[in-house]
Amino acid sequence: MAKLATDSNGKGIQVVRPVSAIDYTDGNAPASSGASVVRLLSVVGGAYGVNGAATVVLPAGAIEYIRLDNADVLTVSGTVNYSVCS
């Protein structure tokens, strides 16, 4: 049986594999078909929002994993690297 990696607090670390990556700057990124987990990487700082304004701030170097459904629209302010995960 595979074991889940743990952090320094003994809590499980969930892992997904990024498949492809695209940089989005100041605009909307469409969700892929079906429900997906996406990885957002903000190299120099930015913000994002799902189905609305980009109000969730990502400081430089931050990585965030979010789930998007088929009809969702990801709005980006600044430059965010967007990867669909499997």
* pLDDT tens track for 25-66: 888 876 665 657 888 999 889 999 999 899 999 999 998 888
With a cut of 70, say whether residue 18 has pLDDT above it: no
pTM: 0.73
User: For all residues of the chain together, what is the average pLDDT?
Assistant: 81
How is residue 14 annotated by DSSP?
-
DSSP for 21-69 reads EEEEEEEEEEPPSSSEEEEEEESS-EEEEESS---EEE-TTEEEEEEE-
Domains of the chain: residue spans and CATH: 18-85 (2.60.120)
Q: Are 38 and 84 in contact (CB under 8 A)?
A: yes
Place of tokens 């892992």: 15
